[in-house]
Amino acid sequence: MSDNKPGEEQAEAYIKSKLIRNGFQVAKPSFDIRGADLLILDDISKKTTKFLRVQSKMRTVSATANSSVEIPEEYVDDNFILFLYIESGEEDELLFTFFKEDIRQWRNRAGAYWLTLSPKSVAELREKLFNKKVAARIKSRLQAQPIKDYTSILIDGIFLEKAIKDTQITYADIWPEKQFVKPDLETVVRDLLIYNQFDAPNKTISCVIFESGHHSLNSAVHMPDENYISREDLEIRIVRSSQIISSQLMQQLQRIINAENVMLVADDAAYETELNALTEKGVDLIILKQRAYEGSRMYTTHHWQDVAYALGRSIGLESFEI
């Protein structure tokens, strides 16, 4: 059956509020992590953290309308928890929690676990209702998890456009006969990833580019028509907006910084306060920006690299020319 999007969003918001009230740190993943709608995090002060993957579902069950839940086999492991929000028409809040060992008792069909829902079966699930005892069980399971690292690269599109054009100007003075190329977006991202020093178990990199509607990144980079590019080792998502790019990017950074390694491609004073706050917490990330004499607008105590080398490769320069 197809999920009802408004209902799923309602359930996700309710589940998040219940988890927070029970002392959990909750984040929204930036890309698909094996069915996770939410992440339960361990210690927000650490560079990397243990986490659990949470999938949220909402179903309506009544005397005239049964339902069901389907979970792919590959999602169900010690790191996975399912929260099921039931609307029955009789009670306002029925929230059930299922761990790996619960789900694996369901009927298995075509590579997925199935749970049929009816007023009778829902009544039999009372022991799965979320409560303080279940919250303690989640905390115990969280502590037992190994740290699993993912890596994301977040790009300020306004800065990327400026940096590419500045790189062309710099090297045009050095190599006046050189014909520069206009790179495609994937080439630029892969060149930027030469600075990736994270050794994450999951080798697929998630890239999110925040493109301003008031600027023209396409003037410096061949932008794809679609907003999502998927490769075996790289996922690129483009967020186009007329809102303040730095604010949107930092919101995304705060959502993922405790569950993922982060590379940040940005150079603006608007980022300084929040980045310095992360430094005080002991949270680190890799920043790609310009040098001061090339027009840097951001001071940071984080580890950083000069973006010019990678972008020089993108516009067609050889290693010996940079």
Would you place residue 44 in the very low, low, confident or very high pLDDT band (cuts 50, 70, 90)?
low
**Quick one: pLDDT at residue 296?**
87
* 280 Cβ contact partners less than 8 Å away, ≥ 6 residues apart: none
For the chain, the domains span 5-143, 150-321
Would you place residue 1 in the very low, low, confident or very high pLDDT band (cuts 50, 70, 90)?
very low
Q: Identify the CATH number of the domain defined by range 5-143.
A: 3.40.1350.10
Q: What is the pTM of this model?
A: 0.60
Angle in degrees, CA 233, 290, 274, rounded to 5:
80
* 63 Cβ contact partners less than 8 Å away, ≥ 6 residues apart: 119
* 264 Cβ contact partners less than 8 Å away, ≥ 6 residues apart: 153, 154, 249, 253, 271, 285, 286, 287, 288
Q: Tens digit of pLDDT for each residue in 181-207?
A: 999 999 999 999 999 988 777 788 999
165 token code pair: 């054009």
Which residue shows structure tokens 């061949």? 222
> Is the pLDDT reported for residue 80 higher than 60?
yes
- Cβ-based neighbour number of residue 253 at 10 Å: 22
Report the distance separating Cα 301 and Cα 276, nearest Å.
7
Would you place residue 4 in the very low, low, confident or very high pLDDT band (cuts 50, 70, 90)?
low
Mean predicted lDDT score pLDDT of the chain: 87
